[in-house]
């Protein structure tokens, strides 16, 4: 059913080292070294007769050596509000296999005992992180009223609590998240005290969507989880890149699709941010940026941002680019719709694995693509 790819390419490249040098005086550059890639055709991946796909967020549980992957299926292909438990078999020469161990339904109601499934279009799960208490914090981009939410669940799917959302993100006339462009990235510090959330493209009051000429401004929201109640302590402006190529057939976009906390591994940076672009008739373009928050403006008290934004945005440095434009891609891999990133297990040499996964949109023209890298600090 499943098949690994790029074995010949890996031999030819000799496990190509990737990454850009950091600015002079900042020390050795971090690098990503490709371990392997693995594809599963959309029509070939099912579990208990239900299609597997829509993978939009990924979290690794090192105590069990499994990954939890949320699906953004809103009920069109299978039950709305579900996550998969996956086993990803990494080997020295690549990804050997990917296995679905279980599917778990998410609970929609705090007040009712047992798991109450979500109605169709009642959830659009886009990201997941695993807490040190063994629970999952999941971001939904929209419910039936286009409202985003952040909720914490037990591993059996039971809803434990809801995190507050700043009012400026709640959609209404001329403000809030745009439809299907809300929370796409979550990152949690290992001590569990800091949670970061990011919207895919600009709030309605913050500026325009990304174009071929300019990027879009989004907010990285920092929560303090150390107290009894979660509290927003900062919002940092992040400017995306412009769309990488004009579309040949109308539609194109670029926004943040995933995020990962890395400060405990790369002390000069806080986050690893994935920008995912698509241009109709051209394909996808994926960029991974190292992000530093220090020095950026805290715009928490600004209901609307000026455009063009004249303040200080976060610092970002390109670590990796995979592009449908072959001459711009750092690996001979056709990128798909990458929406998930997770820090995986420690490798035998002590370094960590980094795993990316794509959302196939349950489309026969797309695939489930997994990429595994060694993170070399």
Query: What DSSP assignment string belongs to 328-343?
Result: G-SSS-----EEEEEE
* Token code pair at residue 210: 């990304």
Q: Using CA atoms, how far apart are residues 25 and 45, in angstroms rounded to an integer?
A: 48
Residue 167 lies in a domain: yes
What's 250's domain CATH number?
A: 2.115.10
How far apart (Å, rounded) are the C-alpha atoms in residues 183 and 16? Answer: 33
What pLDDT score was predicted for residue 11?
A: 31
Q: What is the pLDDT of residue 28?
A: 67
Ranges of the chain with pLDDT below 70: 1-28
pLDDT of residue 23: 37
Half-sphere exposure at residue 267, Cβ-oriented, CA atoms within 13 angstroms:
3
DSSP 308: S
Q: Count the Cβ atoms, other than its own, within 10 Å of residue 12.
A: 10
Q: Residue 93: its pLDDT value, please? A: 84
Beta strands 283-292 and 271-279: pairing type?
antiparallel
Among positive and negative, which fits the CA dihedral 286, 287, 288, 294? negative
Predicted confidence at residue 377, as pLDDT, reads 86
Q: Which domain holds residue 75?
A: 41-315
Q: Would 57 be classed as within a structural domain? A: yes
Q: How many angstroms separate the Cα of 18 from the Cα of each of 101, 257, 264?
A: 33, 21, 21
Residue 4 lies in a domain: no
CA angle, residues 222, 256, 47, in degrees to nearest 5: 100
Task: Specify if 17 maps to a domain.
Answer: no
Q: What is the pLDDT of residues 256-295, one digit of tens each?
A: 999 999 999 999 999 999 999 999 999 999 999 999 999 9
Give the other-Cβ count within 10 Å of 1's Cβ: 9
How many whole angstroms separate alpha carbon 254 and alpha carbon 102?
Answer: 33
Q: Give the chain's domain count.
A: 1
Does residue 280 form part of some domain? Answer: yes
Computed on alpha carbons and rounded to an integer, the radius of gyration of the chain in Å comes to 19
DSSP code at position 247: -
Alpha helices for the chain (secondary structure H): 7-13
pLDDT of residue 164: 97
Assess contact for 166 and 232: CB atoms under 8 A. Answer: yes
Q: What is the pLDDT of residue 135?
A: 98
Handedness of CA 170, 144, 139, 161 (dihedral sign): positive
Domain membership flag for residue 245: yes
Say if residues 138 and 123 touch (Cβ distance below 8 Å). no
Instruction: Tell me if 111 is assigned to some domain.
Output: yes
Q: Is the dihedral of CA 16, 18, 24, 28 positive or negative?
A: negative
Q: What pairs with residue 368 in β-bridges?
A: 40
Asked if the structure places residue 206 within a domain, the reply is yes
């Amino acid at each position: 059913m499943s098949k690994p790819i790029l074995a010949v390419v890996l031999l030819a490249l000799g496990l190509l080292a990737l990454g850009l040098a950091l600015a002079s005086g900042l020390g050795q550059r971090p690098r990503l070294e490709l371990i392997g890639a693995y594809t599963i055709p959309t029509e070939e991946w099912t579990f208990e007769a239900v299609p597997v796909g829509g993978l939009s967020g990924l979290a690794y549980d090192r105590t069990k050596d499994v990954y939890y992957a949320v699906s953004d299926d809103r009920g069109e292909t299978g039950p709305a509000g579900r996550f998969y438990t996956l086993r990803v078999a990494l080997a020295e020469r690549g990804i050997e296999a990917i296995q679905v161990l279980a599917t778990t339904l998410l609970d929609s109601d705090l007040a009712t005992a047992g798991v109450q499934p979500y109605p169709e279009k009642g959830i659009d799960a886009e990201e997941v992180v695993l807490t040190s208490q063994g629970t999952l914090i999941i971001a939904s981009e929209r419910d039936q009223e286009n409202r985003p939410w952040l909720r914490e669940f037990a591993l059996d799917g039971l809803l434990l609590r809801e995190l507050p959302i700043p009012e400026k993100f709640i959609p209404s006339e001329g403000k809030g998240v745009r439809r299907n462009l809300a929370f796409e990235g979550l990152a949690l510090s290992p001590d569990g005290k800091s949670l970061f959330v990011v919207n895919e493209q600009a709030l309605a009051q913050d500026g325009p969507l990304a174009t071929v000429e300019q990027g879009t401004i989004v907010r990285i929201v920092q929560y303090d989880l150390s107290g009894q109640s979660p509290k927003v302590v900062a919002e940092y402006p992040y400017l995306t890149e412009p769309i990488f190529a004009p579309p040949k057939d109308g539609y194109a976009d670029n926004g943040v699709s995933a995020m990962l906390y890395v400060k405990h591994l790369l002390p000069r940076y806080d986050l690893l941010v994935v920008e995912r672009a698509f241009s109709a008739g051209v394909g996808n373009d994926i960029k991974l940026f190292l992000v530093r928050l220090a020095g950026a403006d805290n715009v928490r008290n600004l209901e609307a941002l000026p455009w063009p934004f004249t303040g200080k945005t976060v610092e970002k440095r390109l670590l990796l680019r995979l592009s449908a434009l072959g001459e711009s891609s750092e690996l001979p891999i056709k990128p798909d719709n990458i929406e998930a990133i997770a820090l995986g297990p420690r490798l035998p040499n002590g370094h960590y694995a980094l795993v990316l996964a794509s959302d196939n949109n349950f489309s026969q023209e797309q695939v489930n693509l997994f990429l595994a890298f060694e993170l070399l600090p």
